[in-house]
Structure 1
Amino acid sequence: MVLSALRGALGFLSRLPVGHSEAAWDAFTATPAAFPLAGYVVGALVAVPFLAVGLLPAPVVAAAYLAAVVLVTGVNHADGLADLGDAAVVHGDPAERREVMRDTTVGVGAVLALGTGLLGLGLGALAAARLPLLAAVAVVLASEVGAKLAMATLACLGTPSHEGFGATILDGQGPSDLAGPLVVAVPAALLALPATAVASVASVAVALSLNRWADRRLGGVGGDVFGATNELARVVALHAAVATWALVDWGVLAWTLS
């Protein structure tokens, strides 16, 4: 069941050639813990460029990371972020905002959301590439697991805005089902304390914030909200982890000099 759920999760969350089957999809939608499980696989792959930390310039490592994210995960979730950006700038009721999200025209909100997300991810990767090698890999892995934990948080706490992917994922889930994803994400949170723990907390905070915003502005959670949550949680988790690492380093230095 778990392996089937993981296969279904990777089939949706990545471009890895794991195949697609109805059984794997059903197992995935019934198992929120499959989200962070898939995060370990995806995170390990996109963290590969950081094995060159100290050998290659930080901008080169960061650029390779961005390329790896696109190659491994595709653009489906980025599309969700773009749609959410368009909906965010619309003045109207939830139904009107959802209609804008279905429109294939790319608006100013979408461009701003994608540009901000890409810039944030690139700058976060650049900062991570200046950490010690093992810390950099741990931070990137924890950020990816955190992004998937954020999606699992939505799956367990959100309410669907309409019939579709979001409703399929949310069906049958409840707050008590969040225990599984949280347990699965614990090893990633412990990789490089306290930075990776802060990354995990930050990713859940993103999910909670977007869930509240979606309820008020969209009438609930849909597929685009899931995609946007993945993209935003990754960026926020990465920056939170790097910032925490820097603050701890400064704190240790100050204590040593005092």
Structure 2
Amino acid sequence: MVLRALQGALAFLTRLPVGGDERAWDAFRRTPVAFVLAGYVVGGFAALPLALPLPLSTTAALYLVTLYLLTGVTHADGLADVADAAAVHDDSTDRERRRAALKDADTGVGGTLAVVLTLAALTLGALGMAGSGPRVAATIALAAEIGAKTGMATLVCLGDAAHEGLGSALADEADAAALLPTLVAAVPVLALAPPLGTPAVVAALLGGPVVAVLLLRWARGALGGVSGDVFGAANELGRAVGVHAGVVAWALL
């Protein structure tokens, strides 16, 4: 069951040719911990360039290229849609207008700015990771990815769907009781922490869930619940925050 759920998670969250089918998708929807397991896979691949003895700028660039070759741009599109919704001015019909902004195929100024700033932040974070040494960099990258996926799982377990669609397909299948095993599944990455590096790995791991909780609070008020776009935004923002949190924690050791 878990392996099939992981297959569904990788088919949904990445561009890896895992051959996901309807059974894998259904297993994934019912198994939030599969998000976290997928984070180990994606984070492991993305961390590989950071373990190579290359110039910092090259290492950071390869990290970003590997990451988006693996995951595509679907989650970044979700971030753009959420930012466009957040940019809607407050008025009496504010929630409906924000939902309409989510579904608008055209990316507005808010969405463009959010994607550019998040990518810039991730790029700078990647440079910071690369400058921390290969083992530290790779472990922070792995933990940040697992944290981002844990954040998505947190939304699935705690959120209610704003409308029918991807959000309801995921959130309606889980409840708060599924959150504990999901969080536990993220803990083993701590065993990979380098000497004196555990605080940095913990910080990187916590970035995703913290961002998800903040996004959930906003989405409940602004949209009436979560959606597929909110999941994507949580992934992109959670990763960037996790990377910086890990780098800062390592620098302050």
- TM-score band w.r.t. shorter chain: over 0.9
Q: Is the CA contact (8 Å cut-off) linking 1:189 and 1:199 kept in structure 2?
A: no
Q: Is the CA contact (8 Å cut-off) linking 2:207 and 2:239 kept in structure 1?
A: no
1:251 counterpart residue number: none
Instruction: Give the whole-Å Cα distance in 1 for the aligned partners of 2:127 and 2:71.
Output: 20
1:169 counterpart residue number: 170
Matched, 1:25 2:25: yes
Instruction: Give the whole-Å Cα distance in 2 for the aligned partners of 1:191 and 1:208.
Output: 26
How far is 1:189 from its partner? 3.6
Root mean square deviation of aligned Cα: 0.9
Matched, 1:217 2:197: no
Aligned runs of 1:89-100 on 2, under 5 Å?
89-91=87-89, 92=91, 93-100=94-101
Residue identity opposite 1:186 in structure 2: V
1:126 counterpart residue number: 127
Secondary structure of 1:111's aligned partner: helix
Matched, 1:208 2:209: no
How far is 1:194 from its partner? 1.1
How far is 1:94 from its partner? 1.3
Instruction: Give the whole-Å Cα distance in 2 for the aligned partners of 1:118 and 1:100.
Output: 22
Secondary structure of 2:192's aligned partner: coil
Q: Is the CA contact (8 Å cut-off) linking 1:79 and 1:224 kept in structure 2?
A: yes
1:252 counterpart residue number: none
1:197 counterpart residue number: 202
Runs of 4+ in structure 1 over 3 Å off? none
Secondary structure of 1:219's aligned partner: coil
How far is 1:229 from its partner? 0.2
Secondary structure of 1:47's aligned partner: helix
Matched, 1:227 2:232: yes
2:4 counterpart residue number: 4
Out of 55, 58, 63, the residue aligned to residue 57 of structure 1 is 55
Structure 1 range deviating more: 159-168 or 193-202: 193-202
Instruction: Give the whole-Å Cα distance in 2 for the aligned partners of 1:232 and 1:190.
Output: 25
1:183 counterpart residue number: 184
Secondary structure of 2:224's aligned partner: coil
Aligned residues: 246
Matched, 1:139 2:140: yes
Out of 68, 73, 76, the residue aligned to residue 75 of structure 1 is 73
Q: Is the CA contact (8 Å cut-off) linking 2:76 and 2:236 kept in structure 1?
A: yes
Q: Is the CA contact (8 Å cut-off) linking 2:49 and 2:63 kept in structure 1?
A: yes
Residue identity opposite 1:81 in structure 2: L
Q: Is the CA contact (8 Å cut-off) linking 1:190 and 1:197 kept in structure 2?
A: no
How far is 1:188 from its partner? 1.6
Secondary structure of 2:54's aligned partner: coil
Instruction: Give the whole-Å Cα distance in 2 for the aligned partners of 1:125 and 1:196.
Output: 15
TM-score with structure 2 setting the length: 0.95
Secondary structure of 2:138's aligned partner: helix
Instruction: Give the whole-Å Cα distance in 1 for the aligned partners of 2:18 and 2:111.
Output: 31
1:256 counterpart residue number: none
2:108 counterpart residue number: 107
Instruction: Give the whole-Å Cα distance in 2 for the aligned partners of 1:14 and 1:34.
Output: 13
Q: Is the CA contact (8 Å cut-off) linking 1:82 and 1:109 kept in structure 2?
A: yes
Q: Is the CA contact (8 Å cut-off) linking 1:190 and 1:196 kept in structure 2?
A: no
Instruction: Give the whole-Å Cα distance in 1 for the aligned partners of 2:55 and 2:189.
Output: 26
Q: Is the CA contact (8 Å cut-off) linking 1:38 and 1:148 kept in structure 2?
A: yes
Instruction: Give the whole-Å Cα distance in 2 for the aligned partners of 1:85 and 1:164.
Output: 19
How far is 1:191 from its partner? 2.8
How far is 1:190 from its partner? 4.1
How far is 1:173 from its partner? 1.3
2:42 counterpart residue number: 42
